[in-house]
Chain A
Amino acid sequence: MSGLRWWGLALGSAMAIAGCASVPTARTDAAASAIDDPSLSASATSEAAERAKGLTLSPPDPTERPRNSSEIAEETLIEDYDPWEPFNTAMFSFNRKVDRYALKPVAKAWDKIVPDPVERSLKRAFDNLSMPRRLVNNLFQLKLKGAGQELARFGLNTTLGVAGLFDVAKVFGLEASEADTGQTLGRYGVGPGPYLVLPFLPPLTARDGIGFAVDAALDPFTYVIFPVAALAGTAVGKRVDERALNLDLYENVEESTVDLYSAVRNGYLQRRQKMIDDSRPEVRR
């Protein structure tokens, strides 16, 4: 244990120092892979001195700075923008019923029959197929490295990884670079708009709802099979599989909230804001 801890500490500090930790793209593009990625090592080492200087001289990233008391006063004024709350609340409780009486039982049965590794393989296959969405949005967000990684991952995982069932590309240090259309819109200054809950769908905002529609258009399934059926088919398959993978996690959320609707709304809005902040180079620095 202590060996492990030491290694974790050493690795953690090293990455922070070498600047590997602030390598762009989504959270899966973590520091560890950055070190493993040969294309990065050269720039990482040459940047090390520069960043070490930056660490001591310049103030920390404003987004990560702890808040002071005047900011607390400010944030009490900010409420989650939800003018369509009556509609959303109704949809939210409908979705919960769908979850309780349809999705969860199916997912539980699925979880019993299908071993975990297979569930994860299926998730990877679904993820592999949504490459066009990530590729296009990486390009629009000017994350060229991310776009390249997505192309390379798709090539490797579709062939060597047997239609995406296995993540071969990860072995080569090629991590997925998550990006979607709602995020791209946000990056270019489109505000989230009102919070929006639609039947059978995860939480959205007006902006992310538009993004969701565009993302669906970028999903190859939409064209290969009959569009509507395809959308429904993949959506159900995906949801069942993900639900099965997260059975414990969902219980846990309910246990620790006093008002589930506002908890989910706030969690979604915070998370999206973070994803958009992360996609902006000036904030990421």
Chain B
Amino acid sequence: MKPLRRACLVLASALALVLLTGRGATAGPPTDQLRESIDRALQALGNPDLRKEIRTRERRAALRGIANDAFDFDEMTKRALARHWHGRTPAEQKEFVQLFADLMERSYVSKLELYAGEKIRYTGESAEGELATVRTKIVTKQGTEIPVDYRMHRRGDRWLVYDVVIEGISLVANYRSQFNAIIQTSTYQDLVARMKTKAVSVAESVKE
């Protein structure tokens, strides 16, 4: 390592130390709460008892509990259904939140499973009133970095995630386009039916 490079590293670490012991300008409550949830999730993933393939269901249940604490599934569903949300009855809305939470969990948790054992770096946070974005990078074993941003809002004293942006792709926006495509070419009932079959087919593949 060249001296100049080392100097930059030392300087950067020193800067971080000063700011952390003072008031962290880049790592506020949103980052702290998110980090806590992710650490818990990674712990569950790395737990040797839960790690075995047979234990997939238990592990998913543990992860589901963590996700429920960290994510605002109501808000995510509202945003993903967008204009189709308002025409639904409260019962339908409740059902859809549940179905969507299942789907989100599968897509997010299974991605997290792929990344198990890899490093997560928290690269910044921008907060404005009740809203915040926490930027992270997943560093794979090959050294590839995958930017994952968490959009959060404050509910009481908790910061909850309402969208996850992976490599520039917002999950909620992506589901919004899928839901919209199905509702427009078919019906809302068809969308619900598809979400249900999806849940069943995945549950079966987990059992195997």
> A and B: partners?
yes
- Chain A contacts for B142, CB-based, 8 A: 120
- Taking a contact as CB atoms closer than 8 A, the residue among A12, A66, A252 that contacts B132 in the complex is A66
- Kindly state whether residue B91 has any CB partner on chain A within 8 Å: no
Interface size class of B (residues with CB under 8 A): 35 or more
- Kindly state whether residue B54 has any CB partner on chain A within 8 Å: no
- Kindly state whether residue A204 has any CB partner on chain B within 8 Å: no
- Kindly state whether residue A13 has any CB partner on chain B within 8 Å: yes
Residues B12 and A262 in contact, CB atoms below 8 Å apart: no
Q: Which B residues between 183 and 198 are near A, CB-CB below 8 angstroms?
A: 191, 194-195, 198
Residues B82 and A13 in contact, CB atoms below 8 Å apart: no
- Kindly state whether residue A17 has any CB partner on chain B within 8 Å: yes
- Kindly state whether residue A275 has any CB partner on chain B within 8 Å: yes
Bound form: Cα–Cα A120–B140 in Å: 13
- Kindly state whether residue A283 has any CB partner on chain B within 8 Å: no
- Kindly state whether residue B181 has any CB partner on chain A within 8 Å: yes
Q: In angstroms, how far is the closest chain B Cβ from the Cβ of A16?
A: 4
Residues B8 and A45 in contact, CB atoms below 8 Å apart: yes
Q: Which A residues between 48 and 69 are near B, CB-CB below 8 angstroms?
A: 48, 52, 55-56, 59-61, 64-68
Q: In angstroms, how far is the closest chain A Cβ from the Cβ of B41?
A: 13
Bound form: Cα–Cα A270–B172 in Å: 12
Residues B178 and A30 in contact, CB atoms below 8 Å apart: no
- Kindly state whether residue B52 has any CB partner on chain A within 8 Å: no
**Most-contacted residue by chain A among B106, B124, B170, B179 (CB, 10 A):** B124
- Chain A contacts for B153, CB-based, 8 A: 66
Residues A10 and B26 in contact, CB atoms below 8 Å apart: no
- Chain B contacts for A170, CB-based, 8 A: 143
Residues B128 and A59 in contact, CB atoms below 8 Å apart: yes
Q: Mark B150-179, 1 if CB is under 8 A from A, else 0.
A: 011100000000000001111001111111
Residues B181 and A13 in contact, CB atoms below 8 Å apart: no
Q: In angstroms, how far is the closest chain A Cβ from the Cβ of B136?
A: 8
- Taking a contact as CB atoms closer than 8 A, the residue among A15, A263, A267 that contacts B123 in the complex is A15
- Chain A contacts for B126, CB-based, 8 A: 60-61, 64-65
Residues B147 and A27 in contact, CB atoms below 8 Å apart: yes
Given contacts A27-B167, A252-B111, A275-B168, contact A13 B24 (CB under 8 A): yes
Residues B123 and A31 in contact, CB atoms below 8 Å apart: yes
Q: Mark A170-212, 1 if CB is under 8 A from B, else 0.
A: 1001000000000000000000000000000000000000000
Q: Which B residues between 15 and 44 are near A, CB-CB below 8 angstroms?
A: 15-17, 19-20, 24-27, 35, 39
- Taking a contact as CB atoms closer than 8 A, the residue among B79, B121, B177 that contacts A8 in the complex is B121
- Chain A contacts for B123, CB-based, 8 A: 12, 15-16, 21, 31
Residues A249 and B8 in contact, CB atoms below 8 Å apart: no
Residues A8 and B122 in contact, CB atoms below 8 Å apart: yes
**Interface-located stretch among A34-42, A98-106, A143-151, A225-233:** A34-42
Interface residue count for A (Cβ, 8 Å)? 67
- Kindly state whether residue A79 has any CB partner on chain B within 8 Å: yes
Q: In angstroms, how far is the closest chain B Cβ from the Cβ of A40?
A: 8
Which residue of chain A has the shortest Cβ distance to B24 in the bound complex? A13
- Kindly state whether residue A47 has any CB partner on chain B within 8 Å: no
- Taking a contact as CB atoms closer than 8 A, the residue among B15, B82, B111, B122 that contacts A18 in the complex is B15
- Kindly state whether residue A44 has any CB partner on chain B within 8 Å: yes
Q: In angstroms, how far is the closest chain B Cβ from the Cβ of A116?
A: 9
Q: Which A residues between 242 and 273 are near B, CB-CB below 8 angstroms?
A: 248-249, 252, 255-259, 261-263, 265-267, 270-271, 273
Closest 4 CB pairs of A and B: A256-B107, A274-B168, A66-B131, A14-B12
Using A27-B167, A66-B152 as known contacts, list a sample of 6 further A-B pairs with CB atoms less than 8 Å apart, ordered by residue number in A: A9-B16, A13-B15, A66-B151, A67-B131, A79-B177, A274-B168
A–B Cβ pairs within 8 angstroms, 20 of them: A4-B119, A8-B120, A10-B20, A12-B122, A15-B123, A31-B123, A36-B5, A41-B5, A41-B8, A45-B8, A45-B11, A55-B25, A64-B149, A66-B133, A75-B82, A75-B173, A76-B176, A257-B107, A261-B181, A271-B167
B residues with CB within 8 A of A: 2, 4-5, 7-9, 11-13, 15-17, 19-20, 24-27, 35, 39, 79, 82-83, 103, 106-108, 110-111, 114, 119-124, 126, 128, 131-133, 135, 137, 142-145, 147, 149, 151-153, 167-170, 173-182, 191, 194-195, 198, 202, 205
